[in-house]
Chains A and B, each alone.
Chain A
Amino acid sequence: MFSVATFIDSFGPLLYAARYTLLISGLGIALGLVIGALICAARLSPFPALRRFAAVWVSFLRGVPLLVQLLLVYYLLPVIGIDVPAMVAAVVTVGICASAYVSEIWRGAIAALPRGQSEAAVAIGMSPGDIWTRIILPQAVSLSLPALVNELILLVKASSLVSVVGIMEITRASQAQAATTYRPLEVYIAAACIYLAINLCLAAVGRVLEHRMAV
């Protein structure tokens, strides 16, 4: 029998745990935006060594599962004598992983702009700095917003993986709750509801951004 009471009771601890899910994915995307911008800049730079570094960075982070990256960092840090809270290690790992996807999103948005727009700016004597800040970036950023929201949704889901390093986010909290109540089905349905609610909100934001852009 489905226990409605257990289902409803699960929301208390799971919603408490949701703050960690939001914190990890929110800080993760923020860090990913910063590092992703640097990687994208390196990728588009005139220096072959930087370009190669960025390409390797992106293909490593996209080619290795986040779960493996988290475990690597978790076991590597003590070995090299770095002692940071699991939460910090998790956010940094998620952020670095996100940076690979973010840099590709930005590279794509920049490449999507017709070359003639920069040429017209060059032709009237604008400097490279002005061309980036006035012509390319404003358009690339707004072009990339829907894809970035999508990336954030993926991060919210991927943050469930940090449960392996002991952080009490939604998934880990559900496992604990399932173990104490012996009612895994009710608990996991509640967890699914919370993930879904978060991501539906984000998707709605994404649609608003996309719509605003289409005008």
Chain B
Amino acid sequence: MVQASSVEIAKVNKFYGPFHALKDIDLSIAPGKVTCLIGPSGSGKSTLLRCINFLEEYSSGEIRIDGQLIGYKTPGGAKMSGRDLRTMRRSIGMVFQQFNLWPHMTALENVAEGLRRVRGLSRTEAEARAAEALRKVGLGDRMANHPSRLSGGQQQRVAIARAIAMEPKLMLFDEPTSALDPELVGEVLNVMKALAAEGMTMVVVTHEMGFAAHVADRVAFMEKGELVAVDAPARILHQPEDPRIQAFLRTYHERNLF
């Protein structure tokens, strides 16, 4: 079992110039819980996710990880120092739609890099832990490969290994399977399911409704920068009351008919 973080998002707003990308978002995530963020494209899911590790600055409100405010020294106050922010980010893993592996390094080096530079481990120690993380995502036999020699599913699993090798207490996923060929989606979702079963707190932006239905503890629906509803998966995915959710699911189902 991992040590898992809680996330408290309160009255968060985000502006891109005049554009109001996040509107008064409130969301709390208990330790060890999996929350899926769903909603139409452009609704602010990635923006919200990226605010959680302050990859994107939120304009007002508070985001707390285990009670500690991220990004600012005080709510609405001065920005946190780079050093403090890096310390907080060490325990937050992130997985991107485009994998974002470092192409000049092997799979093993990709995973070991953070352990060496951020955690200060020796090369041998870092590589031993990196190898362990890669075995955990089923890539024990691909450690010497560069990303260009791996399939999309394997690359995304390396990216997950890179994050979990740092022993995070919270994992953020931004459409981790959207760039994958359909037959490679399953291998990545399985790794994520295993992580959820270990008790990791996870926030997952996804269009995989099956994953949301079966793995998530709660599903949050966003539209036009608003968090419309947060509830148990069945209540959002099967009996949504809000017409906006009904409309979204209708287009989703229509697209998946053939």
Q: Which residues of chain A have a CB within 8 Å of any CB of chain B?
A: 114, 116-117, 119-128, 130, 134-135, 138-139, 142
| Interface size band for B | 20 to 34
Kindly supply a per-residue 1/0 record for chain B positions 97-140, scoring 1 wherever the CB is within 8 Å of any chain A CB and 0 otherwise: 01011111000000001100110000000000000000000000
Q: Do B159 and A120 touch across chains, with their CB atoms under 8 A apart?
A: yes
Least distance between B196 CB and chain A CB atoms (Å) = 20
- In the complex formed, the residue of A with least CB distance to B92 is A123
User: Is B47 an interface residue when CB atoms closer than 8 A count as contact?
Assistant: no
Most chain-B CB neighbours within 10 Å: which of A116, A121, A124?
A124
Q: Do B90 and A125 touch across chains, with their CB atoms under 8 A apart?
A: yes
Q: How far is the CA of A116 from the CA of B104 in the complex (A)?
A: 14
Q: Do B90 and A119 touch across chains, with their CB atoms under 8 A apart?
A: no
Least distance between A86 CB and chain B CB atoms (Å) = 43
User: Is B153 an interface residue when CB atoms closer than 8 A count as contact?
Assistant: no
Q: Do B86 and A119 touch across chains, with their CB atoms under 8 A apart?
A: no
Q: Which residues of A contact B86 (CB under 8 A)?
A: 125-127
Q: Do B104 and A122 touch across chains, with their CB atoms under 8 A apart?
A: no
Residue from B104, B118, B166 in contact with A139 in the complex, judged by beta carbons closer than 8 Å = B104
Least distance between B114 CB and chain A CB atoms (Å) = 4
Q: Do A117 and B94 touch across chains, with their CB atoms under 8 A apart?
A: no
- In the complex formed, the residue of B with least CB distance to A118 is B100
A-B contact pairs, 7 of them (CB 8 A): A117-B102, A123-B53, A124-B89, A124-B90, A125-B114, A126-B114, A130-B118
Q: How far is the CA of A68 from the CA of B114 in the complex (A)?
A: 50
- In the complex formed, the residue of A with least CB distance to B148 is A215
Q: Do B104 and A142 touch across chains, with their CB atoms under 8 A apart?
A: yes
Least distance between A129 CB and chain B CB atoms (Å) = 9
Q: Do B100 and A116 touch across chains, with their CB atoms under 8 A apart?
A: yes
Q: Do B94 and A114 touch across chains, with their CB atoms under 8 A apart?
A: no
User: Is B247 an interface residue when CB atoms closer than 8 A count as contact?
Assistant: no
Q: Which residues of B contact A123 (CB under 8 A)?
A: 53, 55, 89, 92-94, 163
Interface residues of B in 160-217 (CB under 8 A from A): 162-163, 166
Q: Do A139 and B103 touch across chains, with their CB atoms under 8 A apart?
A: yes
Q: How far is the CA of A122 from the CA of B92 in the complex (A)?
A: 11
Q: Which residues of A contact B162 (CB under 8 A)?
A: 120, 124
Q: Knowing that A120-B96, A127-B82 touch, tell me 16 more A-B residue pairs with CB under 8 angstroms.
A: A116-B96, A117-B100, A120-B100, A120-B101, A120-B162, A121-B102, A124-B89, A124-B118, A125-B86, A125-B87, A126-B113, A127-B117, A135-B102, A138-B104, A139-B104, A142-B104
Q: Do B55 and A125 touch across chains, with their CB atoms under 8 A apart?
A: no
Q: Which residues of B contact A119 (CB under 8 A)?
A: 55, 96, 100
Least distance between B101 CB and chain A CB atoms (Å) = 7
Q: Do A124 and B159 touch across chains, with their CB atoms under 8 A apart?
A: no
Q: How far is the CA of A139 from the CA of B90 in the complex (A)?
A: 24
Q: How far is the CA of A114 from the CA of B163 in the complex (A)?
A: 19
Q: Do B100 and A122 touch across chains, with their CB atoms under 8 A apart?
A: no
Q: Do A120 and B94 touch across chains, with their CB atoms under 8 A apart?
A: yes
